[in-house]
Amino acid sequence: MRKALLPTLVIIAGSLLLIRLFYLQIIDDTLKLKSENISIKINYTYPERGYIYDRNGELLVANQPSYDIMVVPRDVKKIDTLEFCKLLNITKEDFIKKIEKAKVYSPLLPSVFLSQLNKLEYAAFQEKERRFTGFYIQKRSLRDYQIHNGANIFGFINQVNEKIIESNPYYKSGDLIGKQGVEEYYEEILRGQKGVKYIQKDKFNREIGSYKEGKFDTIAKQGKDITLTIDAELQKYGEEIMVNKWGGIVAIEPKTGEILALVSAPSYDPSILVGRQRSRNYTSLYNDSIAKPLYDRGLLAEYTPGSPFKILTGLIALQEGAINDSTTFFCRRGFRYGRKFMRCHCSGGGVRLHRAIYQSCNSYFSQSYMRLINKFKTPSQGVDVWSKHLQSFGLGDFMGYDLPTGRRGNIPTSKTYNKLYPNGGWKSTNIVSNAIGQGEVLLTPMQLANFMAAVANKGYYYTPHVIKKINGSVIDKKFRTKHVTTIDRKYFKPIIDGMFDVYNYGTAKGLGVKGIDICGKTGTAENYLRVNGKRIKLQDHSIFVAFAPKDNPKIAIAVFVENGYWGARWAGPITTLMIEKYLNRKITKVDFEKRMLTGSLKAQYQKLYPRKVQDSIARAKDSITRVKKIADSLAKIKSIDKNSLDKDKNKNKKKDTVKLKN
Amino acid sequence: MKNQSVSNNIDWMSIMIYILLVIMGWLNIYSSSLSTAAIDTSIFDFTQIYGKQFLFILISIPIIFVVLFVEPKFYEKFSIIIFAVAILALIGLFPLGKTVAGQRCWYAIGSFTLQPSEFAKAATSLALAKYLSDVQINLKHSNRQIQALIIIFLPVLLILPQPDPGSALIYFSFFFVLFREGLPGWYLGTGLVAIVVFVLTLAFENSWIVIAIATVALIFNYFRSKLIERNILASGIILLLISLFSFSVGFVFNNVFKQHHRDRFNILLGKDVDSKGIGYNTNQSEIAIGSGRWIGKGFLEGTQTKGGFVPAQHTDYIFTTVGEEWGFLGSVFVIGLFVGLIIRVIYLAERQKTKFSRVYGYCVASILFIHFFVNIAMVVGVFPTIGVPLPFFSYGGSGLWGFTILLFVFLKMDANKVNEW
């Protein structure tokens, strides 16, 4: 027994040690991670972001060097804080706050202390850098905008947030990422691939050489340059014209679907989102909830399209055989359906398709639409056929263009109305305002421009896009695929003829330019705002769609000016100027130009969104009593809606007896 | 008639393990000290730690030859004189020793230092073997026990005030030898109970809980008596002693121990874990070993080793390099070598024909075992931090030579056993 003790103990002790080692080395996997965190430092080299050019090869966005001051909190020794703060123009409180923030992130790892210094600030700091131990400068490349326009197309560059870091392992704290516009959509192409260098550290956090002789290191890959379809000159002109107006302009080359200009107003100079003032500027842009400069109205604003929609009503009615180009409807300066009366501003009498378009006859298109719907056994079928045709123009859905934001718009179907009239019984008369683009239909300016391009092409379109070239290689196949509409080519001719005469005898008489055959259509859309449960009628929107030249269309355009009274007042002249600018590069309509450039709708917007309303909204956010009041008013609104719905239902019953003339 | 030459009778298996351990130790020292040296220096650069270790290894070779050349009778005859020289050397440290990092453990001759406590282990082993080999000696008698304990604790008394608690701890390994040679079991039993009570008292921070456990254990023992006799008085005395010990542990721990001693225990018991302060050593050592996974990061590829994160890595923490660069498999191999060597020495000791060489062999095995276990247990974080080197592995001339002499004296005795009739 005495002999056995020591050998037994040796075996037991050896086994115990092996069990412990097995636990440490195989089971507990946090230790390996800890080891990597402690002993390996990763250095990134950031490639330069790709440049952005316009369709004519003009450089729009380049890069400039910028300098971030980094801090490793643990290394910060006693420094002359006063001098430091003075040099960088920050307060002592700022200094303490930033250091604390960096400490919270990690006392050992570098974090950004102050970002995006310009060259002068950099030079001043660099001179004294060695006196500020713990701080060092990291070079980065920032955007350098060559033009002051196109902010909504480019987007901007942002530091990645926690969410992005978590969801995408490529990005590390402090990295930059493109937000909005092509910077976001083509982020991976523009940013390139950052280089990684693993560095072995010792216990003093000193670098003592590369890890594994650089076996895992990678070299940074340069970002690719991209060429946009945007015409910088046209874009600039469009933005200048839209100064002091709210709205959007979308211009497309019909034959290719290339977006020539995408104007959203109000806009901002993209260069204000670069440099040290960036976050302040961004905050003020972001907080402007009334004018919404960060909101791309060309892509996001869903408007009632108004009269331009009549073009589609006409095309579908022709296609479905509800009318032909000699069908005549009688217009009594308006159109009575049921108890409602829709005013019309055409010259009245017997109206055929041609005049119906150039004079924008409400009666004609309403009656065509009703005839179209009534052709089918049930209104549901009719609406669905109509809806299908519209969808073939890319309406009612995201269009698949290469910008990261967008809205579907709204193209109602039978489902929409079954929901609105849960007891059924809706008829063509209930939905007739769709005929003139005034009902449930909503389109974005991009969708307006796209259907105009399809009309210009007599029945096909390409998905609109802003990318023309990525460093020489061909663009995505989806932008080279022809989409054919469900309307036969022959039905476009009468419509286009009518649109041509809009300029000769119609609603846009006097807006034309000598030498350019423009086909267009005015639009004036009613719009309402709900304030405290009341439906307030606001000033109408001014809309215009057009393409030119008539025989060989090179540009299709949609212009939308919020609260611009009527189509020919603002949107019409702007359309003309844009078309002339693009096709001739010279403006002959100097009087138009002067009026549009200097004209302002600011007073109008101030009237619409008075400070009082804004203030009350702001206050409501804060106080609970206000919230209660809002709840009350909401209840009121609901009851009002209910009442009006009930009324509508009653009307439906009455309408059954009404016979319509056609 | 058997061949009497040393090379034919010496235990080559032990020598192979010895050579493997020494070479692996040197390679790991090279890896662990490379970070602080220039990258391009040769592994034989004598200005560097690994170069010096190479020199120490070279010097071991003539030492081995001398040890093997000497007649085994010499060790037996002169064991008391050798022991006396060792004791004198330890005493001499007080006036003549060199103080390094607060410890007065070294004689310095120029830049060359010697640590007598490393050689004292072998000397004490010889003395103990000599004392116990006397046919008159029976460890059942208490005055014999006291005499044996005097031999063991004389060097301990001289080593503790240096202070070098690690080296002093090693001398407790001789209890295994005494037990093997007939020391009553209650010595080890008491030691075991004391350790258990000590750990439990610190873990629960309350002596009453420990006393309660002890009471339950004693009652259980009383009714199913196996270990100690069914004697209410004896049980009561044992309980009283345990209680006193437990209270005194609390008192000593809080009032006699210095803060860094307390911290070392607290780390193990999972209290006050402060990985940046006192817990740094253990924490870094566990990270280094744990990051090795199955096969390790490869020779000279250990990131923790290169970064110099583990303190005293080339001496007491040398095993972290094995764990990090050679992984679990490498660790298993090294532990296997140690266990193999110790078992082999025990086996050889048991087959000795004289009591002297058997006792000495047992001393060698016990010393190697305590060194090996305490060192690696400390490195993997299951034993308090204490300065005990890993035999043959850790950097240091005195240590290497001390262990070499310790082992080879026994191998010489073993090789000579054919002549002992």
Please check whether residue A109 is in contact with residue A38, taking contact to mean a CB–CB distance below 8 angstroms.
no
More confident residue, B275 or B145: B145
Convert the pLDDT of each residue in B125-177 to its tens digit. Answer: 999 999 888 867 777 888 888 888 898 889 988 888 888 888 888 888 898 88
Q: What tokens appear for A140 in the block? A: 């980065």
Instruction: With a cut of 60, say whether residue B118 has pLDDT above it.
Output: yes
Terminal CA-to-CA distance of chain A, rounded, Å? Answer: 119
| B81-97 pLDDT tens trace | 999 999 998 888 888 87
DSSP label at residue A410: B
pLDDT in tens, A373-411: 999 988 889 999 999 999 999 998 888 899 988 889 899
Cα separation, B144 vs B136, in Å, equals 10
Q: What average pLDDT does the segment A120-129 reach?
A: 82
Side-chain-side CA neighbours of residue A62 (13 Å): 7
Residue B43: phi and psi, rounded to 5, are -65, -15
Compute the average pLDDT of residues B354-361: 90
* Residue A26 touches partner B, C-beta closer than 8 Å: yes
Give per-residue pLDDT as tens, B276-290: 555 667 777 777 787
Q: Does the beta-carbon distance from A14 to B339 stay under 8 Å?
A: yes
Give the pLDDT of residue A659.
38
Decide if A32 touches B, using CB distance below 8 A.
yes
pLDDT of residue A613: 44
Give the model's confidence band at A230: pLDDT under 50 very low, under 70 low, under 90 confident, else very high.
very high
Maximum Cα interatomic distance, chain A, rounded to a whole number of Å: 127
Under 8 Å between Cβ of B318 and B25: yes
Among A10, A28, A35, select the one facing B343 at the smallest CB separation.
Answer: A10
Alpha-carbon distance A486 to B387, whole Å? 89
A21 with B328: Cβ contact below 8 A: yes
A660 pLDDT tier (thresholds 50, 70, 90) = very low
pLDDT higher than 60, residue A653? no
Per-residue confidence band for A20, with pLDDT thresholds at 50, 70 and 90:
confident
Handedness of CA A467, A470, A476, A481 (dihedral sign): positive
Query: Residue A623: which pLDDT band, with cuts at 50, 70 and 90?
Result: very low
Using CB atoms, pick whichever of A3, A9, A40 lies closest to residue B303: A40
pTM of the model: 0.61
With a CB cutoff of 8 Å and minimum separation 6, the contacts of B7 are none
Q: Which of A82-86, A460-464, A652-656, B325-329 has the lowest mean pLDDT?
A: A652-656
Is A120 in CB contact (< 8 Å) with chain B? no
pLDDT > 70: percent of chain A: 86
Least confident of A152-166, B101-115, B338-352: B101-115
**Inter-chain contacts counted by CB atoms under 8 A, chains A and B:** 126
Q: Which helix (H) or strand (E) holds A127?
A: helix A119-128
Say how far apart CA B106 and CA B108 lie, in whole Å. 6
Which among A13, A32, A203 has the least Cβ separation from residue B309?
Answer: A203
* Residue A283 scores a pLDDT above 70: yes
Tokens of A608: 């619409």
| Facing A10 at nearest CB: one of B287, B331, B342 | B342
- Shortest distance between the Cα of A88 and any Cα of chain B, in A, equals 34
**Best mutation site among A8, A15, A39 for testing chain B: the one with the most B CBs within 10 Å?**
A39
A36/B contact by beta carbon, under 8 A: yes
pLDDT tens profile A571-585: 999 999 999 999 999
B56 torsion bin: left (phi>0), alpha (psi -120 to 50), beta (else): alpha
